[in-house]
Every structure is written in structure tokens, then in C-alpha cells.
Chains A and B, each alone.
Chain A
């Protein structure tokens, strides 16, 4: 499977050893063929290639055990890769210890130094850079203002709330102007409302300061809210790298479709070869033919899965009239009112279930046991992916 991650190892070959923090040389973070195994049977990260642009907010999203935290630890220098290279601004940092990488980390546990005040915590990286006196005080104040903690500079971490601690940790990670900021599920320990608030604050902060961030999470909503691009990880590999919108509307595989939101899957056969990024798929259940976009190339007769999001489908009353392009027919099992939306679960005649979502202001009044059929709202919003078998 081809994946659209930007891999540009050749872009860095013609550089001179330039001073760090120079703005003109090759940009951002590059991971090249990165591999890490913890024992002979389990490889945590496998041949990972990725280019995170300077100033980009990039998120590694995946289920637990997919290798995203290992990748982060490799970038930070807490782990050594078995193979591959890590470059920041074109310079290989693979053999540098963590303190020489200019890569800071924000932990889920905050990892604030409990015996130091907020001020001293934020001053720590500056003191390591031998910044002293009024320079130091100005930089710390600036960082604390940025996260809205100026008034709590002399508090100890133990006296702060969870959200304040994470903001202090953020200020500490940013104040030394690192090349890369790594964030390892930094909002994971907070409750939902605070998390949403901090997501927005983080987004705003990124827009203002423009740091290069690699963010790790298993929360898809968080990934969508925060990121310029998201890389979906599975079994130590990146399976798709794209903007959140692209991942949601154009998943390259069933795994991505299922991981990012709900997906309805209809089995079918390619009726003709792919042309101009579209393929005609004959659905097995309804025999109706749909022209759906796809990043993959199918030959006529290949098995293909049509993936449609719950909000991309529409319900109609009565038995299915497949001649008119219906996708499936079935019986309503459940109708769930979720406030903004209404969700129906339909038992398909051909077996399996379908989920359909409509705005509650426009929702139709189907209830359990009603006979219905299902249409695609617009043919262009489904996507065809290869069947795994």
C-alpha cells in the first residue's frame, strides 16, 4: 500500500554544518527507516519514514501498542533505534544524548519538579542554556504569560490544579525555544471539559508561537482538533499520513476508516478498472453500481469495499428499490437521540448492521421495526478500499 508521507532524505545531503537555530537550512524533523525492536518477536517500530515540517503540528494517532510512544521516545533520545536516522533541521541527532537534541517533552504525568516553584521549573531549561539575570526573568515571564500562569509563578506544582500543571509543563517545554516539542498524551489525565478547553488553548498557542510539535494520542477527536496532519499508526508502521479531513473522508484502508470515526462497509466487486480516481463498484447485496472515488487502482473483477460514514447515508421508507440506486435495505433496530444528532442502527437484509446519523432538527421519524432502505447522500463522499483478503 502506498502512503503519502513526505520522505525527502535527499533534501538534506547538500548542507554545510550550519549553526543550529539557523532558519535557512532543511526544515523540521525527519525520521528515516526508523526501526526499534524490544525483543526478537516484537518490533515496536518498523521502517518508519516521516517528515514533519517546521512549524507543523503533527499527531501520531493509533491504538495502544501501535508504536507511537516508542517513536516519541526515539525522537527524544530516551531510546536508541536499532536502525535508521533521526534528523532535525538536516542534522542527524541519532547519536546525541537527550540533553543535546534541543527536543523538549511534555509528559502525561506533567513531570514538573515538585521541589521547585513554577518560576524555577520554567527557568530550568534557560539556566541550562546559561541565560541569567533580567534576560532569564523576562523569558520566564513571557512564557508564563503565554499560558496564562503569570499570577502563579511562585506556587509549587503541588498547589496547582491539573490544568494549571499541564500549562506550566507546556511553558517549560516552550521557553527554551526547542527545535521540536514532543507531547505524550499530555491531556490524558484530565477530565473531558478541561481537555476540550486545553485543546483549544494549545491550538491557539501553536498558531501564535508556531513551534514544531509531534503529539501522541489515541483520542481521534483530539487529533482532529489539534493537528495540521495526522499519521495513523498500526503495528509499528504509519498506515496513512494526511490532514484530519482527508483521513476522515478519504481513508486509504478499512483500518483507518474504522479507527477514525464510525464506518459502514459494503462489499462489492469492481465493475470496471479505475479511471480518473474513480471506480465503479457493484455492491454484492443490492447489485446496484456506484461510482466512488478511490486512491487505489482496481482491475475489473477485484473485490472492493465501499466505506460510507453514518452522515453520508440517508433513510427512505418502504422496501428497497435497488434499480433506483439504493445501497441496502433493512429494518430499524434502534433509534438513539444524541442531542445534536439522531442515530439509527439498521439490521441489513443481507446481514450486518448499518449506522446512519442525521441532524436532529432534520431527522425523520423512523422507529424500531420500520422497514427502510438506504441511499448514499452524494456518491462522491464514499470511498473504495481494497478488501483485506
Chain B
């Protein structure tokens, strides 16, 4: 508080520059998709020639796009579920594991954050081609779950950091066996972190293209894969409408995660 006040003469202009840059590079392109999607003409053009929902309507009545939406929800949902189970177990178990075992595993859990997606994609490709699994749903789901793992792991670790260990001891001394203590105390109190991790892992998998392209072998047509194919073939405003919907889904996911973080800090007190 006092720091920000004493440096306000520097911070205030910096703040405006930062907000301006953020707006220009991050928000603007995202916002830009909406006028494109609402365009009434049949070609991608800017500024739009009149506004309307006809491209959204087209998408809603296109079996190809609807199928892609379905595939995406299925793949992202399953990948997020796998990431959540593995990430939560890791976050609960690694802190009480022998550190010679725990340290490398912790590193492995967060590594996908810094490994370029292409590298991950190639690695998965070579593994799954050996197992003859390229083009299977299982391969895509496993490939994408690795992407969500660090997010879930870090979320649950952060949630456990302000978890009062005395609660476990109190519950034990009041007659709670370990499974009961886990189910009634530990799990409910870390639930906001776990669900936030699940939502973010879902969003990550939902938007992913590269790994899905490699491991899916062009057979698994998620939304990004379908859009990628469509843009190369014939870029219509229908693609922009699909993009607009997926942007909304992503933003909704982030809003949900933020709400869950608030809930978590409200619960901690």
C-alpha cells in the first residue's frame, strides 16, 4: 500500500502503458473476432457490411461443426478429468513422500508448462505410433491431459498451502478414521482448488491444436482441428462464428476459475 503510494509518480504512467499494451495485443484481436462473425456477407471482411446472426445460424445447422463441438467437449472433458485426478493425487501425496522421489516427480508435474507444445506433440506421436494408437480418442485424451496436469497440480498445491493441518489432527482425535477425514475434511476444503484446476485444464484442452493434429492423425476432428482445416480450404465467416463461440467458452472458463479462487479464499478464513 505505502509502496505503491510512494512510487505512484512512476507507477501511474506505467500502469497506463501496461494496460494499453495489454489491450492492444491481447484483448483487441479477441474482440475483433465478433464483428467478423456478425458480418452479413459471405466473405471475411472488415469493417462488416451490416450485422446479423446468420453465420451463427449456419454453424448451428451444420452437422460438421456440431460434430466438432461434440468431439471437443468429449476430448477436453475426458482430458481434464484425467489431469484432475492425477494432478490432485500428486499434490496431496508428493509433499509427504520421500524427497528423492518427490522432487523429480514435482518437476515432471509442472514440466508441460515450459515444454513447447510441438515437442510434446512429437514425443506423444512417436510413443503412440509405436503403440498403433494414432488417430484414437484415447491417444488424444492422454496427450491433452498432460497439458492440464501442471495447472491442476499447482492449483491444488496452492489450495493446500493455506490448509490448516490441525484440522486433520482434530478430526482424527474426534474419532475420524483416515478415509472419513479425507472425505469429510480434506476433500471439501480443497474442492474449490480442484474444480478451478479442472475448469482450466478443460479450457486448455478445448483450445489445443498441435498435439491433437499430431496424435489425432487428422481423424479426431476437434473444433480447433476443424477450424484449421476450414481456414486452409475456404475461410468463411462461419469459422469466425465458431471462433467467437469458443472464445466465449474460454472466457466463461476463466470467469468460473476466478470465482472458485474467491470462494477458496473466503473459505480459508
**Distance of A76 Cα from B169 Cα, bound (Å):** 9
Of listed A102, A128, A158, A172, residue having the most chain B CB within 10 A: A128
A172 touching B174, Cβ below 8 Å:
yes
For B266, list chain A residues within 8 Å (CB).
158
State whether A99 and B170 are in contact (beta carbons under 8 Å apart), knowing that A113-B185, A114-B269 are contacts in the complex: no
Closest Cβ of chain A: how far from B261's Cβ, in Å? Answer: 16
Q: Shortest CB–CB separation between residue A86 and chain B, in angstroms?
A: 14
Please give the number of chain A residues whose Cβ is less than 8 angstroms from any Cβ of chain B in the complex. 26
Measured CA separation A363–B173 after assembly (Å)? 52
Q: Which residue from chain B places its CB closest to the CB of A73 in the assembled complex?
A: B169
State the Cβ distance, A342 to closest chain B Cβ, in Å: 44
Given contact pairs A111-B166, A115-B188, A76 touches B171 in the complex (Cβ within 8 A): no
Q: Are A114 and B267 in contact (CB under 8 A)?
A: yes
Name B167's closest neighbour in chain A (CB-CB).
A111
Give the shortest distance, in Å, between A251 (CB) and chain B (any CB): 34
Contact present for A98 and B169 (CB under 8 Å): yes
Q: How far is the CA of A124 from the CA of B267 in the complex (A)?
A: 19
Chain B, range 153-179, C-beta contacts under 8 Å to A: 164, 166-167, 169-177
Check: A125 CB closer than 8 A to any chain B CB.
Answer: yes
Enumerate chain B residues within 8 angstroms of A77, measured Cβ to Cβ.
172-173
Whether A78 lies near B169 (C-beta < 8 A) is: yes
**CB-CB nearest in chain B for A114:** B267
Within 8 A of A (CB), among B180-220: 180, 184-185, 188-189
Q: In the complex, what distance in Å separates the CA atom of A107 from the CA atom of B177?
A: 19
Q: Which residues of B contact A158 (CB under 8 A)?
A: 266, 269
Partner of B174, one of A78, A109, A115, A125: A125
Is there contact, CB below 8 Å, between B267 and A115?
Answer: yes
Residues from chain B with a CB closer than 8 A to the CB of A176 are 174-175
Alpha-carbon gap, A101 to B174, bound state (A) = 9
Docked complex Cα distance between A104 and B172 (Å):
9
- In whole Å, how far is B190's beta carbon from the nearest beta carbon of chain A? 11
A128 touching B176 in the complex, CB below 8 Å, given contacts A107-B166, A107-B170, A111-B170: yes
Q: How far is the CA of A102 from the CA of B74 in the complex (A)?
A: 49
In the complex with contacts A114-B268, A114-B269, A99-B166 CB distance below 8 A: no
Residue of A whose beta carbon sits closest to that of B173 = A105
List chain A residues, Cβ under 8 A from B166: 107, 109, 111
Q: Could you tell me which B residues sit within 8 Å of A by CB distance? A: 164, 166-167, 169-177, 180, 184-185, 188-189, 266-269
Residues of A within 8 A of B (CB): 76-78, 97-99, 101-105, 107, 109, 111, 113-115, 124-125, 128-129, 158, 172-173, 176, 182
Task: With A104-B174, A107-B170, A124-B184 given, name 18 new contacts (CB 8 A).
Answer: A76-B169, A99-B174, A99-B177, A104-B173, A105-B173, A111-B164, A111-B166, A111-B169, A113-B171, A114-B189, A114-B267, A115-B188, A124-B171, A125-B174, A125-B175, A128-B174, A172-B174, A176-B174
